[in-house]
Structure 1
Amino acid sequence: MTRPTAHARAAYPHLHPTPTRWADNDMYGHVNNVTYYAYFDTAVNSYLAGHGALDPQRGAVIGLVVETGCVFFAPAAFPDRLAVGVRVAHLGRSSVRYELAVFREDEDTACAQGHFVHVYVDRGSRRPTPLPEDLRRVLEDLQADPA
């Protein structure tokens, strides 16, 4: 398997400021691997909520994570100030593949990058449902440049 190369900040249409917390560090003195997934989830859902495309308590449609992954290139640690880059790599009928990257302050190359896939489902039935138009419009603004 070929190891991916770290992306640059410019590859991501949205950067979400993400300060590290004391509790993010593990006993080895760096941000624990599971914490990166929380950073990813927070960056995506903050973007969607901030653009009026996510109502986690009352929305008829919810996104469930069905796949995720992360590759690490360099450690981050408290008190680093981070930014999480967000882009949409694939926009389907009822699913979205997000690609994300974590950047330390003033660094152009990702220290970690990953992905996750949301399948959007009806809140009540939990069956896949087409993306609502307002959500699709917001996600289109995050689509990765095909170049």
Structure 2
Amino acid sequence: MEEDIKYHHQLPIQLRFNDVDRYGHVNNNAYFSFYDLGKVDYFNLVLKIYNGTPDVVPVIANINADFIAPVFYGDDIVMETCVSHVGRKSFTLEQRAINRKDNSVVCHCRSIMVCFSLKDQISVEVPDSFRRAIEEFEHTKFPLEK
């Protein structure tokens, strides 16, 4: 299934000295800050939710990461992000880090994002504006679920 995913968003990741553990590679915990950087950049570019005070925001309901190959300080890493599914109240965010040295996938993350009303403090349906923006950016139509 991963092979079918098309990534239209990329963000270069600057590795910091404190991302590296005593074994000389990027610590697994650091990847989650990389995922956050890609997610925030994607949301800002596509959903424009950080331009003002939104009522509805996506929040993480579930996150799973696969660590495929080690990354070392000085490697050239890019985080790719896309939405692979849009449901009624949630959508699936796919992310992967690519080592540009050999174009290998070094990690993959799948997050279920639930739309959440900050005012009412409950989950809500994916706003039409989010759905349209994601579909336009991803060049795909996500069927409405009942």
Q: Same fold (TM over 0.5)?
A: yes
Corresponding residue SS for 1:51:
helix
Match of 2:55 among 53, 60, 72: 60
- Give identity over the alignment, percent: 22
1:16 pairs with 11, 23, 27, which one? 11
TM-score (norm: length of structure 1): 0.82
Are the counterparts in 1 of residues 56 and 118 from structure 2 also a CA contact under 8 Å? Answer: yes
Any residues of structure 2 matched to 1:68-147 within 5 Å, and which? 68-140=63-135, 141-142=137-138
Give the secondary-structure state (helix, strand or coil) at the position aligned to 1:48.
helix
Could you tell me which runs of 5 or more consecutive residues in structure 2 were left unpaired when the two chains were aligned.
142-146
2:22 & 2:71 partners in 1: Cα distance?
13
Counterpart Cα distance in 2 of 1:18 and 1:51 = 19
1:43 aligns with 2:43: no
CA-to-aligned-CA distance 1:37-75 (integer Å, 9 cap, x gap): 111121021121133521286110121111111111211
Tell me the CA shift for residue 144 of structure 1: 7.6
CA 1:56–1:115: 2 relative to 1, 3 Å: farther
Root-mean-square deviation (Å): 2.7
Seen in structure 2, the aligned counterparts of structure 1 residues 144 and 23 have a Cα distance that, compared at 3 Å, is farther
Give 5+ residue unaligned stretches, structure 1. none
The size of the alignment, in residue pairs, is 141
* Aligned-partner Cα distance in 1 for 2:76–2:103: 13
Which amino acid in structure 2 is aligned with residue 89 of structure 1? Answer: S
Higher relative contact order (CA 8 A, sep 6+): 1
**How far does the alpha carbon of each residue in 1:98-135 deviate from its partner, in whole angstroms, 9 at most, with x for none?**
11110112432201111111101100222111222332
**One-letter amino acid of the counterpart of residue 114, structure 1:** C
